[in-house]
Amino acid sequence: MSLTDTHGVINLIKPIGVGSTDLVAYVKRLLKVSKVGHGGTLDPFACGVLPIGINRGTKSLQSLLEGDKSYTGTAVLGMETDSLDIEGDATGWHQSFGKEHTIRTQEVLSSLMGTRLQTTPLYSARRVEGKRLYHIARNTPELQPAQLPKRQITVHDLQIQWDSDYQKFHLQVRCSKGTYIRQIVQEIAEQLGIVAYLDSLCRTEVAGLSLQNAISVAKLFEIVHKGADFSGQWFHRVQV
């Protein structure tokens, strides 16, 4: 099956453990097309919606990057890491927490809603003076939070649910582009007087592309090798 004249966006489910750019390279080899791109990076430990543009469909990716996104995730209490997520090294522990720390939950969540400035995590791919922050972090580990760049974001909806033993909380977020969910976990923890890190993350929607209408990598492989048409809800064809 030749896809050289097929233009559009694949609503693909990125599996855990694969980098976004690695997945793009895989799709490029699988489909045998010359132009492939993605609409918003997900960290390797995260999963969920990763829009993949093929051929002239790559021109549609910018509008997806500008759109709102939705996530679900789980935060683990009692330990913090340098990257604020499960991929980092432990930097501290705090075992003194329980139900009493949840009393101000709604107040804290309300304070994080709306349009505001969010500090960019030190271990991130954002560029500062031409260098990725994670490269700067390796050479300047003593960099203070006040020295980190800030970005305007909008949090439209933020909810969390505590586990019965108060060792974890599960969160749902709908937000603008550029929002770091691990930083939101850090902000919640700091205001509640606890420490936590983001243990899992799933992006459930990107600018209207939902997880319910996405396709897995395995299913995409099957369709390509069977020579089936790209006609499902997971493919958004672009007219050229």
Per-residue pLDDT at 134 = 58
The per-residue pLDDT of the chain, averaged, comes to 89
> pLDDT digits over 127-159, tens only?
665 666 655 655 665 555 556 788 999 999 999
> pLDDT digits over 65-81, tens only?
899 999 999 999 999 99
Q: Where are the beta strands (DSSP E) in 87-219?
A: 90-93, 114-119, 127-128, 131-132, 150-162, 168-175, 196-206, 209-210
Which phi and psi (to 5°) does residue 172 adopt? Answer: -125, 130
Per-residue pLDDT at 200 = 98
Locate tokens 């939705």: which residue?
70
Per-residue pLDDT at 231 = 85
Per-residue pLDDT at 165 = 87
Active-site residue, 43 included: yes
pTM for the complete prediction?
0.90
* Nearest of 230, 238, 233, 224 to residue 28 by alpha carbon: 224
If pLDDT is split at 50, 70 and 90, which confidence band does 10 have?
Answer: very high
Per-residue pLDDT at 4 = 82
Per-residue pLDDT at 184 = 98
Query: Is 228 strand, coil or helix?
Result: coil
Among 133-137, 173-177, 197-201, the least confident range: 133-137
Task: Spell out the domains of the chain, with CATH numbers in brackets.
Answer: 8-66+207-237 (3.30.2350.10), 69-205 (3.30.2350.10)
Tell me which H or E stretch contains 188: helix 181-192
Q: Please, how many CA atoms are within 13 Å of residue 175, restricted to the half-sphere of its CB? A: 25
Which is catalytic among the residues 5, 43, 82, 199?
43
Per-residue pLDDT at 98 = 72
Phi/psi region, residue 164 (left: phi>0; alpha: psi -120 to 50; beta: rest), is alpha
Residue 146: Cβ-neighbour burial (10 angstroms; 0-12, 13-18, 19+):
exposed
Amino acid residing at 83: S
Region 1-23 average pLDDT: 91
